[in-house]
Amino acid sequence: MNQDRIIYKIAKAYYENNCTQQEIANKYGISRMKVSRMLATAVQNKIVQIKIASPSNKFFILEHKLEVKYGLKEVIIADTNGNDNDDLIESIGGIAAGYLNNRLLGNEIVALTWGRTLFSMVNALSAENFPKLQVVQMLGGLGEPEAGYHGADLTRRMAQNFSTKPRLIHAPGIVRTRDLCRELINDIQVKSTLNVAARADLAIVGLGLFGPGSPIWKTENILTEEDKKMLTSKNIAGDLSLRFFNDQGQFISSKIDDRIVGLNIDQIKKIPKIIGIAGGEEKYRSIRAVLKGSLIHVLITDKHTAEKLAIENI
C-alpha cells in the first residue's frame, strides 16, 4: 500500500473517527509506535493541517493583553453590564465559580479569605465529590459572624459543596493586643489550621479597598480609630487578607500585623497560586496596586476594570 495512503487512513481514523492509536495499530496490524510516527509524518507532510480556532470568548484578546502586561498566569473577565454593584459582584462571583470548578483536581489545599465577592462565588459553585480536597481559612473571622461573607461560613459552605471537611480558625481575624494574638496563634487548633493554610496550593482572595466606604473601616470590631489614622498616614491602597499595601503593591508593615490571626506576609507570598477576585470602580485602586506589586497570579474581574487596566501606565 502506498505510504501516503496508509498515513491518510491512519490520520483520518485518529483525527476524525476518534480511534485510539492502539485501535488503529490492531486494525492495520502494525505497532502502536509506528502509528505514532505516521501521525507525526501526517502533520509534517501537511496531510493533516492543524488550525487553532480562536475561542468564542470575546475577551480573549483583552485577557491575553493583561496577562502579558502584568505578568499574570491568567486573567478571566466577566461580561458585566450597567453600574449596579450587586450585579457586578454576582457576575464576577459566577465566573470565578466556573473557573474553580473547571480547574480543581480534588486533592489540593484551597485557602480562603472573606468578602462579598467570595460569597457570590461560593453561592455559584457546582457540587463536586472531592473528599481529599482541603478547604481552609487563611485569616480569622472578620465582620459579624452571622454575615454570609464571614470567612468561617464561606469555608464551611465551600467544603460542604465539595463533600469534604473545612479547616476553620475559631478566632477573630484581628484582636486588640499583640499578646492576645500570640496566645491565639499558639493555640493548638489555630496553629494547626494556619499550618495547613501555609501549605495551600492556591488561595482565593478578595481585594479590599481602604477608606471610609470600606467594610473594614465601617465595622467597629476590625480597626480602631488609631489604626485608621495610622494607615491613612501611610497612604494605604488596600489589603489582601488584612495585610495592607500601598499604590505600588508593596506590603506595608505596621503594629497592626502583630494583632492579626492569619497567615503573615511571607507565608502569603509563598502560596504558588493566588487568585484575586474583585471589580468595580471602588476597587480599582486596590486591583491596580496588587498588579503593580505582582501580589496575585490570577485576576478575575469585570470588563470595565479590565479595559481601564489595559491602558494604565505602569
| Same domain membership, residue 143 and residue 17 | no
The answer to whether residues 33 and 153 belong to one domain is no
φ, ψ of residue 144 in degrees (nearest 5): -75, 135
Q: Does residue 157 form part of some domain? A: yes
Tens of pLDDT, residues 238-261: 999 999 999 999 999 999 999 999
Q: Is residue 245 part of a domain?
A: yes
CATH number of the structural domain spanning residue 171: 3.40.50.1360
For residue 77, the cross-strand partners are 301
Residues 116 and 39 in one domain: no
The answer to whether residues 131 and 188 belong to one domain is yes
Following CA atoms 295, 137, 220, 144 in sequence, which dihedral angle do they give, to the nearest 10 degrees? Answer: 140
273 within domain boundaries: yes
What residues make up the domain containing 98?
60-310
* In a shared domain, residues 75 and 35: no
Same domain, 208 and 291: yes
The 10s digit of each residue's pLDDT in 221-237 is 788 899 999 999 999 99
Q: Is residue 155 part of a domain?
A: yes
Residue 211 shares a structural domain with residue 99:
yes
CA-to-CA distance for 23 and 270, rounded, in angstroms?
Answer: 46
**DSSP string for 62-131:** HHHHHHHHHT-SEEEEE---SS-HHHHHHHHHHHHHHHHHHH--SS-EEEE--SHHHHHHHHHPPP---T
The tens digit of pLDDT for each residue in 133-170 reads 999 999 999 866 555 568 899 999 999 999 999 999 99
For position 149, what pLDDT does the model report?
A: 61
Residues 28 and 155 occupy one common structural domain: no
Instruction: Identify the band that residue 55 occupies on the pLDDT scale cut at 50, 70 and 90.
Output: low
67 and 39 within one domain: no
How open is the CA angle 41-47-53, to the nearest 5 degrees?
105
- Domain co-membership, 219 together with 106: yes
What is the per-residue pLDDT for 53? 62
- The chain-wide mean pLDDT, for the chain, equals 91
Q: Are 251 and 243 in contact (CB under 8 A)?
A: yes
Read off the CATH number of the domain in which 40 is found.
1.10.10.60
Mean pLDDT value across residues 12-28: 89
Let me know if residue 84 belongs to a domain: yes
Any domain includes 53? no
Residues 77 and 9 in one domain: no
Reported pTM: 0.82
Number of domains observed in the structure of the chain = 2
Residues 200 and 136 both lie in one domain: yes
Residue at 55 is within a domain: no
Radius of gyration of the chain (CA): 24
Least confident residue range of 13-17, 119-123, 169-173:
13-17
Residue 204 lies in a domain: yes
